[in-house]
Amino acid sequence: METADPLLVVEVVYALADGQALYSVTLPRGSTIQDALERSGIIWHFPGVDFSTCKVGVFGKVRSRDTVLSDGDRAEIYRSLLVDSKDARYARVLSGKRRDGG
């Protein structure tokens, strides 16, 4: 009888303005998103970022930090938006009217 591998491999991804930071980590089964963030060492690579306030998720879906990961998961760290998308669209509309003389 084959036993399941006691380890899993996941990716930890942080989106940057000009690309992404990607770390592959090996964890024991039952590990959480928070465990993956800690094991990746990402806080040491971006000391100016307060990762404790960032939302996190798996494959584009926001999840809590205590979500248990599966082998092959992609744990993602989401940056806060600098400008709300509605506000940005509104500002573009206003600037377009001014440029057109309207």
The answer regarding whether domain 7-99 maps to CATH 3.10.20.30 reads yes
Cα–chain-centroid distance for residue 5? 26
Q: pTM score, two decimals?
A: 0.74
Q: What share of the chain is helix, strand, coil (3-state, %, to 5)?
A: 30, 35, 35
Residue 94's pLDDT is what?
72
Task: Tell me how far apart the 2 most distant CA atoms of the chain are, in Å.
Answer: 77
Domain assignments of the chain as residue spans, ordered by start: 7-99
First to last CA, the chain: 75
Helical residues (DSSP H) of 18-84, grouped into ranges: 33-40, 42-45
Model confidence over 4-59: pLDDT tens digits? Answer: 789 999 999 998 888 899 999 999 999 999 999 999 999 899 988 899 999 999 99
